[in-house]
Amino acid sequence: MRFDYAPAPESRSVVTLRDSYGLFIGGQFVSGSSVFKTVSPATEEVLAEVTQAGPEDVDRAVAAARHAYERTWSVMPGRERGKYLFRVARLIQERARELAVLETLDNGKPIRESRDVDIPLAAAHFFYHAGWADKLSYAGFGPAPRPLGVAGQVIPWNFPLLMLAWKIAPALACGNTVVLKPAETTPLTALVFAEICQQADLPPGVVNVVTGDGATGHCLVAHPGIDKVAFTGSTEVGKEIARICAVSGQRLTLELGGKAANIVFDDAPVDQAVEGIVNGIFFNQGHVCCAGSRLLVQESIADELLESLKRRMGQLRLGDPLDKNTDIGAVNSRAQLERIEAFAESGEEEGAQRWSVQCPLPDRGFWFPPTVFTGVSQAHRIAQEEIFGPVLSVLTFRTPDEAIAKANNTPYGLSAGVWTEKGSLILSMASKLRAGVVWANTFNRFDPSSPFGGYKESGFGREGGRHGLEAYLDVLGGSDV
């Protein structure tokens, strides 16, 4: 008996898209000089026009944030700030369905992920940091830690609302005000978030959202009125920002790329390891900075593990991101698709064996089938560089020492995974892996109370947990050092 799921599309009717969106400055939506279009990567349909913020717009936004910082937010008692954050968190929950559908439309990720991961976690970050707002004296940074001032925050397109939450929630809890620039291809949930700020009666200027491309981002991070820069995105852009901030003396935290090793030992719980590998690299089409893009498998079980992995990959359901049973959605943009395709070609040219899931790809939009490369060695580009797509490189190892050596043999150090039933091996691997997060017998699990961040070229600073507060507090004792 053949059984398959009938189409189960989530309704778009919960989302009311405006034709065009302004910038959110000083608590109001204001128009700017030029506009650009944001499209649905699954269909290439234009969703809305969004304003491109120019230098004067950024000036206005920074001034509004400065005003709100000095007059209102930094002098407000922590318990009052906490109330606003709790209110924002509840509003995210109330509008969760709308936000999930909008995120899926604008980003291309499956509704199952935006519904079950992105939006609930975004709300959780606000709830978590709301709780910190009146307890900062107990965070271990002195009896009365001060905020830094105005934070300029630039976020990527892979988890638009979630990255917004990671940035805005701790900044606000600590008493800073923010100017946030969402990614060019995924600005819409940040603009709905701006509406939520209005709904929550957040004092004008505490949160400002300026949309635009890299030029807007450059303008923001180089702005002399900014006290703190926080960036999540590519290592290349991160380095450029680090150069700017090195001159200006602004505080900086960077969360950049990764090339995580997912290490599977021969005594691993195989079925869960296969799930973890799939979740590690195909979650969000592999557009995850901490994706487990290098599978390091012990040579003695490599063949059977790969067979199980391919069988499991064959079940992945690629297609309409709004369908509730879709596992793999669309690649976020044409540029990213071309980048992934170029990497896949280089893998083949360099002699690795490519295997892709044989599934039909939709005619319109940007799509790439789940792909695994075997016979990969450290010398290959697909083992070294961040692909940021649904492409897994498989390498083998013989001993734990070799696994450590290969796992650490990368300029990155954001995350790693270890799969074994042996607890002592987990602990010894975790102590030797140079990665900000090490997952044991799981992968891609996130929690607001758990600090997240990288080693080496994956960046510095932590987001989440008590450690994450440090990035938004004047722990050095004087905000103008």
Find, among 269, 260, 149, 239, the residue nearest to 460 by Cα.
239
Question: Residue 254 CB, nearest distance to another protein (Å)?
Answer: 31
d(CA 479, CA 481) in angstroms, rounded, equals 6
In sequence order, the 6+-apart residues with CB closer than 8 A to the CB of 101 are 10, 11, 12, 14, 15, 111, 114, 322
Positions in the binding site for another protein (CB under 8 A) = 1-8, 112, 116, 267-272, 275-276, 315, 324-325, 421, 441-442
Question: Residue 273 CB, nearest distance to another protein (Å)?
Answer: 8
Tell me, letter by letter, the H, E, C secondary structure of 456-467.
Answer: HHHEECCECHHH
Q: Which is nearer to another protein, 309 or 340 (CB)?
A: 309
Phi, psi dihedral angles at 152 (to 5 degrees): -100, 120
Question: Residue 106 CB, nearest distance to another protein (Å)?
Answer: 22
Q: Is residue 469 within 8 Å of 176, Cβ to Cβ?
A: no
Find, among 472, 471, 466, 464, the residue nearest to 175 by Cα.
472
Q: Which is nearer to another protein, 124 or 133 (CB)?
A: 124
Is residue 440 classed exposed, middle or buried when 0-12, 13-18 and 19+ CB atoms within 10 A define those classes?
middle
- What type of residue sits at position 396? T
Q: Which is nearer to another protein, 343 or 443 (CB)?
A: 443
Question: Residue 425 CB, nearest distance to another protein (Å)?
Answer: 13
Question: Residue 464 CB, nearest distance to another protein (Å)?
Answer: 20
Q: Please report, for the chain, how many H helices and E strands are present, in that order.
A: 16, 18
- What type of residue sits at position 419? W
Q: Which residues are identified as catalytic?
A: 255, 289
Question: Residue 267 CB, nearest distance to another protein (Å)?
Answer: 7
Q: Which is nearer to another protein, 9 or 142 (CB)?
A: 9
Q: Which is nearer to another protein, 100 or 150 (CB)?
A: 100
Q: Which is nearer to another protein, 4 or 480 (CB)?
A: 4
| 377 token code pair | 């060695």
d(CA 86, CA 134) in angstroms, rounded, equals 12
